[in-house]
A and B are shown apart, each in its own frame.
Chain A
Amino acid sequence: MKTTEILIAGFGGQGILFSGKFLAYKGLLEELQVSWLPSYGPEMRGGTANCNVILSDTPVGSPIITAPNVLIAMNLPSLEKYVDSVVAGGQIYVDSSLIDLKVERDDVEVFYIPATQIAKEEGIATLANMIIVGHLLENHPELSFDGAETVVDKLVPPKKAALKDLNMKALSLGKNYKK
């Protein structure tokens, strides 16, 4: 039995829910059991946003994550709030262009990715989230990078077709990111 509980947190507008949807659809494609649970309400309008994604080879129990295996922190308050909740042996992805703080735990694997900065340099300023997701896919064989394009096709509406390439670009940048 393998269950990956991914908590994505940041500001509204950083595509937190979208990256969660991507991971949920990717899980669906890999024929896993999945759940996707957003925070909702006024806090989404520019405040903090977070999203719980569970991928499992057995039916998902509670869709609410209290102890994630994976934390994606897109801003400082999110990292501070959730850093201690990550299970030992888990992973933390930090957008290091927005967060100065270093994780002081030695029982978790931490990836510092200056995603927002890379995104700006590459002209895809709103897609820092997908750079991190691209890197996450590389680290998660149960998800893998294969089929990412299928998922992007599913998620990006036809009216915004140009965004498909940009999303794929972001995912690739993340995949190939080396410290």
Chain B
Amino acid sequence: MAERILMKGNEAIAEAAIRAGCRHYFGYPITPQTEIAAYMAKKMPKIGGVFLQAESEIASINMVYGASAAGLRVMTSSSSPGISLKAEGLSYIAGSDIPALVVNVQRGGPGLGGIQPSQSDYFQATKGGGHGDYRMIVLAPASVQEMASLTIKGFDLADKYSMTTMILADGTIGQMMEPITFEDAEPTVYEKPWALTGTECKRKHNVVNSLYLKPDELEKKNFERFEKYAEIEKNEAMWEEYMMEDAEICVVAFGITSRIAKNAVAEARKAGIKVGLIRPITLWPFPTEVLRAAADKVKAFISVELSMGQMIEDVKLATESKKPVTLCNRAGGMIPTPDEVLSAIQKAEKGEF
């Protein structure tokens, strides 16, 4: 087995990206994700790659757009306010149907907000953020190991479906260190016949573009894109179930909150409460089916979030509101203790919603 090494979550993303064959990184400094840029700045020049600090988040996402159009694996990373600035580019990348990997190590908002961990960009990541009808695949790591494995997976999904994958992490997972192992594996190579490589005067020119002035053509493009999205919803949802076999209460949490919730679930089990956890790993596509199935078995859901309640809407939609869904949340960079989650579980157990 490969060696266990200690690494910060942010560094794990950077190392995993390099192992996934990414040789181009464009970014702009912002806390709490700067370790990704620092790692890339150190490594890329030594392996024939490019690290470039752009003049802004807007420029960096557009450099990603250009690099991806050129057919190469490329990424950028930022934190909440910076992702808002990248929204324009994310929409263009979506409208041009080309791949990209974008990391958001979330901090509290809105506005300049704070720099402590948050999950309040859930809507922005899963429902759009930029203009127009589009989706991004959104992966939510809950450990340093997953920061790495989901980055590699994220590049593959982005190339497979020719769209953006966003790693939606938070300041805690980004800053913490845990043991991690990297398996030696060659990156998967995807054909990109649309890439801008120069025609060599041997083929018709490739055009990467999101402009369709004829509404019928634009509509057709959108419908085609959503057929692809339907495929992804069918095939790519990922989640983890914890103590769900006989659960009567289902906690739903992703990323850092899922770990806090796990502690609370374990405590509640000691007290004889039948509670389990469903952790969405893909936030889009949302793991709808497992939640829908759970709705027929449990008596209540608790959505644990570092936001004012964003994922809870998807939990209600997925479960068709068949059972009560309550919110256990902190915001602005505050994090719930396992005890706070435990008391939400105890309330739900008593039928207090």
Contacts and interface: CB of A to CB of B under 8 A. Distances in A.
Direct contact of A and B (CB under 8 A): yes
B176 A35 contact: yes
A64 B260 contact: yes
Best-buried of A25, A38, A41 by chain B (most CB within 10 Å)? A41
A28 B171 CA distance: 23
Given A40-B32, A40-B115, A41-B32, A61 B179 contact: no
Interface in A96-142: none
Contact of B4 (A28, A36, A62): A28
Contacts, number: 62
Contacts of A66: 337-339
A87 to B, nearest CB: 13
A63 B6 contact: no
Given A40-B32, A41-B31, A66-B337, A61 B178 contact: no
Given A34-B6, A61-B260, A28 B179 contact: yes
Contact of A37 (B4, B115, B176): B176
A40 B34 CA distance: 12
A41 B115 contact: yes
A36 B178 CA distance: 6
B178 A64 contact: no
Given A24-B6, A66-B338, A37 B263 contact: no
Interface string B111-145: 00001100000000000000000000000000000
B300 interface: no
A33 B179 contact: yes
Interface string B164-196: 000000011001111100000000000000000
A175 interface: no
- Tell me if A's interface is mostly helix, strand, loop or mixed: mixed
Interface in B311-351: 335, 337-339
B244 interface: no
Given A40-B32, A61-B262, A62-B259, A28 B175 contact: no
Given A36-B6, A62-B259, A24 B177 contact: yes
Best-buried of A24, A28, A63 by chain B (most CB within 10 Å)? A63
A38 to B, nearest CB: 6
B177 A21 contact: yes
A87 B111 CA distance: 38
Best-buried of A24, A25, A64, A66 by chain B (most CB within 10 Å)? A64
A30 B31 CA distance: 33
29 contacts: A25-B6, A28-B6, A33-B179, A34-B178, A34-B179, A36-B176, A36-B178, A37-B175, A37-B177, A38-B176, A40-B115, A40-B175, A41-B31, A41-B115, A60-B178, A60-B259, A61-B259, A61-B260, A62-B263, A62-B338, A63-B176, A63-B178, A64-B172, A64-B260, A64-B335, A64-B337, A66-B337, A66-B338, A66-B339
Given A36-B176, A63-B178, 19 more contacts: A21-B6, A21-B177, A34-B6, A37-B175, A37-B177, A38-B175, A40-B32, A40-B115, A40-B175, A41-B115, A42-B115, A61-B262, A61-B338, A62-B259, A62-B263, A63-B256, A63-B259, A64-B335, A64-B337
